[in-house]
Amino acid sequence: MFNWMRRRFPHTRVVVSGALALAFLAHAQPAGSPATRGIAIANMDPAVKPGDNFYRYTNGGWMKRTVIPPDRSGIGVFDVLEDLSDKRTLALIEDAGKAHAPAGSDTRKIADLYHSYMDQAGIESRGLKPIEPYLTAIAAISNKTQLARALGESLRADVDPLNNTNFNTEHLFGIWVAPGFSDSEHYTPYLLQGGLGIPSRDYYLGTDAKMKAVQVAYKKYIATALKLAGLPDSDKKADAIFDLETQIAKAQESIVESQDVVKANNVWAKGDFAKKAPGLDWGQFFQGAALNNVNSFIVWQPSAFTALSKLVASAPLDTWKAWMAFHYVNQSAPEMPKAFVDARFDFYGKTLSGTPQQQDRWKRGVNATNAALGDAVGKLYAAKYFPPEAKTKAQDMVKNIIAAWGRRIDALTWVTPATKAKAKEKLFALYVGIGYTDKWRDYSGLQVVKGDAVGNQARSDMFEYHYSIDRIGKPVDRHEWSMTPQTVNAVNLPLQNALNFPAAILERPFFDAKANDAFNYGAIGSVIGHEISHTFDDQGAAFDDKGRLHNWWTKADFAHFQQSGKALAAQYSQYKPFPDLAVNGEQTLGENIADNAGVAASHDAWITSLGGKAAPMDQGLTGEQQFFLAFGQEWATKTREQAERQQILVDVHAPGEFRAAEVRNIGAWYQAFNVQPGQKLYLAPDARVQVW
């Protein structure tokens, strides 16, 4: 789901909207050892009062002794699993290489793609040859008509506005193929704004010293990349490219604006583009993009399309050609000689994320293989590493938390019976995928050539593009997965009314079938509750049980829902990781609603599972304390300043410290830790926000 982001920004962790995951993390100790099967007492700091700083109380010991590794922009508990998944995946890839599988088989493709990426000597020897044909084609563009066709040819399926934090792509536009807003039974093409090489328009428009420093470093990187590619006048072109991207940034909508799915539902017939967004030869663009036979699109940000099309007409042709050349070089850099890799890392890793050292190449090779052949690798992963008993236990927890959600809906006093009925229809119609898909991708159409790292990446991107656009107009598969089993994440898919929980996240420190239920419901239960809750967050609530963009609310109920959301946004906007930068409560609202309702629903489900019996003590902790500590220890995080600043600007997830503080809205937490008025996190009962 975020493979394209891994390619563009491989040293930051930009996480999908609707997916419960941390940004910019790395290794961490599990929440407990197999010996304790529960809370990691050593990770806590008993000197801190839980009512003053629950995050520090829960994770302070871990914070004091943990050092961010030099190849990471941050460190957190999610990544103990990511490292485990990567090492397991590496072993599977190496086994594929030893299998001597026949040419054209998935096993052979996995081995050849990985080893092509790892063949540094071969990559160095080929030098610029792999990118020369494309650079020559760009140089041959002689007019704006040819430019329009070339821009269409570069279109890729590299955005997902409902499940990514970043609504931008390095291509001028991005395409996303998904169920239609109104016709959820058929795949529909969505077009979105793009054009930037830095992950947020704010970096271009910012005027403070930190933003200016990023701008200077980016221009330096552009010039270096062009110079390495053998293109003349690199410094002059870098200035022109940055100025062009600044104009693109001014034309774009912000993340907050782009999150309004109702405003995004703009159906344009193919003939509308020339009228509503003049300047770009849309006929040539669609022909280049192989979209001749598509009659209509949903245009997510109409004002941006109008402005960007105008910019195509007004900006000099040579500037557009330089821009295209740079972005091609930038996208190809991970598979190019070391000088390209290092230059890219200097900007995206060191400057943008504060990471001093690049990840080992094998890890980048695993990422590249997962990006191209994720399901082929995932099929091997699921067979070896996801036992049936883990799937059964997780499925039981899902059923219990969905049932708890239903009871919570029934108990709401502000919701009318009509709205309750629609909400429960949607809740009980959810498809919940556990571990892995039932329908694996067919990679027979993907050509992998041993020794051609750049070509393999390009063919993989094109394979993914055609996989997407070839589905336009076809019936929707509501059980289709958007994540591979080896992905440490989870996701809500509102247009499918579906959830995915990959195998790799269903392990410690989130899940342990032998641990107390208090631990499991506080840890993986809060993840499950979070994803279910996205069904009813500020975006998910706009879709019905069929995944259609449809208002199923009464006017009064929706007004109350929005008011609760505003209260939660205001609460999070008060959090300031830095004196000059606060969390954007509106930008993070969907994730905060999901945490708010998800923890509460998981707590309800756990209480019901006890059947009236007392929860067992563990390590001197009550069941209630275990539940909330398990939730708090999920968010143990240390992040470099540059990476955390980037997260606040581009991510819809608040930093872990503030997500752990969500407990202050839950009454049971106050009782569990005897939180009293006057303590910093204390909220009077009428000030505690409960959206659902």
Q: What average pLDDT score do residues 105-132 get?
A: 98
- The span from the CA of 231 to the CA of 225, in Å, is 9
- CA 286 to chain CA mean position, Å: 28
pLDDT value at 21 more than 50:
no
CB 201 within 8 A of CB 167: no
Terminal Cα distance for the chain, rounded: 28
Q: Give the model's pLDDT for residue 537.
A: 86
Nearest CA among 382, 389, 393, 368 for reference residue 484: 382
> How far is CA 451 from each of CA 111, 359, 447, 454, 569, rounded to the nearest angstrom?
11, 22, 12, 9, 51
Nearest CA among 472, 441, 375 for reference residue 178: 472
The b-or-e profile of 75-91 (16+ CB within 10 A means b, else e) is: bbbbbbbbebbbebbbe
- The span from the CA of 617 to the CA of 421, in Å, is 39
- The span from the CA of 173 to the CA of 657, in Å, is 35
- The span from the CA of 435 to the CA of 509, in Å, is 16
Pairing mode, strands 296-299 and 187-193: parallel
- The span from the CA of 568 to the CA of 599, in Å, is 15
> How far is CA 366 from each of CA 87, 110, 355, 373, 464, rounded to the nearest angstrom?
9, 10, 20, 10, 18
- The span from the CA of 35 to the CA of 245, in Å, is 54
| Token pair 């006929």: residue | 283
H or E element that contains 177 = strand 173-179
- The span from the CA of 352 to the CA of 647, in Å, is 11
Delineate the domains of the chain, giving CATH numbers in brackets.
3-88+399-428+510-687 (3.40.390.10), 131-335 (1.10.1380.10)
- DSSP for 282-298 reads HHHHHHHTT-TT--EEE
483-516 confidence digits (pLDDT tens): 999 999 999 999 999 999 999 999 888 898 888 9
Where residue 1 falls among pLDDT bands split at 50, 70, 90? very low
> How far is CA 112 from each of CA 216, 373, 485, 571, 590, rounded to the nearest angstrom?
39, 11, 21, 51, 41
- The span from the CA of 625 to the CA of 125, in Å, is 59
Q: What average pLDDT score do residues 319-341 get?
A: 98
- The span from the CA of 379 to the CA of 400, in Å, is 28
pLDDT value at 2 more than 70:
no
CB 288 within 8 A of CB 149: yes
Q: Give the model's pLDDT for residue 36.
A: 54
Output the six-digit token pair for 480.
Answer: 């289709």
346-383 confidence digits (pLDDT tens): 999 999 999 999 999 999 999 999 999 999 999 999 99
Q: Please state whether the peptide bond connecting residue 232 to the residue before it is cis, i.e. omega within 30 degrees of 0.
A: no
CB 603 within 8 A of CB 668: yes
H or E element that contains 163 = none
Q: Give the model's pLDDT for residue 429.
A: 95
- The span from the CA of 298 to the CA of 173, in Å, is 13
Percent pLDDT > 70 in the chain is: 94
Instruction: Provide the residue type at 502 as one letter.
Output: P
203-222 confidence digits (pLDDT tens): 999 999 999 999 999 999 99
Where residue 5 falls among pLDDT bands split at 50, 70, 90? very low
> How far is CA 434 from each of CA 17, 382, 438, rounded to the nearest angstrom?
19, 11, 10
**3-class DSSP state for residue 189?**
strand
pLDDT value at 525 more than 60:
yes
- The span from the CA of 143 to the CA of 201, in Å, is 28
- The span from the CA of 515 to the CA of 519, in Å, is 7
Burial of 671 (0-12, 13-18, 19+ CB in 10 A): exposed
Q: Give the model's pLDDT for residue 3.
A: 26
CB 407 within 8 A of CB 604: yes
Q: Which residues pair with 433 in a beta bridge?
A: 500
**3-class DSSP state for residue 428?**
helix
- The span from the CA of 434 to the CA of 511, in Å, is 13
Q: Give the model's pLDDT for residue 158.
A: 83
Q: Give the model's pLDDT for residue 37.
A: 72
Q: Can you count the helices (H) and strands (E) in the chain? A: 30, 9
Dihedral (CA of 531, 536, 538, 539) sign: positive
Output the six-digit token pair for 84.
Answer: 């485990």
606-638 confidence digits (pLDDT tens): 999 999 999 999 999 999 999 999 999 999 999
390-432 confidence digits (pLDDT tens): 889 899 999 999 999 999 999 999 999 999 999 999 999 999 9
Q: What average pLDDT score do residues 520-533 get?
A: 94
Where residue 78 falls among pLDDT bands split at 50, 70, 90? confident
557-577 confidence digits (pLDDT tens): 999 999 999 999 999 999 999
653-681 confidence digits (pLDDT tens): 999 999 999 999 999 999 999 999 999 99
Spell out the SS3 assignment of 336-395.
CCHHHHHHHHHHHHHHHHCCCCCCCHHHHHHHHHHHHHHHHHHHHHHHHHCCHHHHHHHH
Measured over all CA atoms, what is the biggest interatomic distance in the chain, rounded to whole angstroms? 78
CB 206 within 8 A of CB 249: no
- The span from the CA of 175 to the CA of 25, in Å, is 28
**3-class DSSP state for residue 126?**
helix
- CA 162 to chain CA mean position, Å: 10
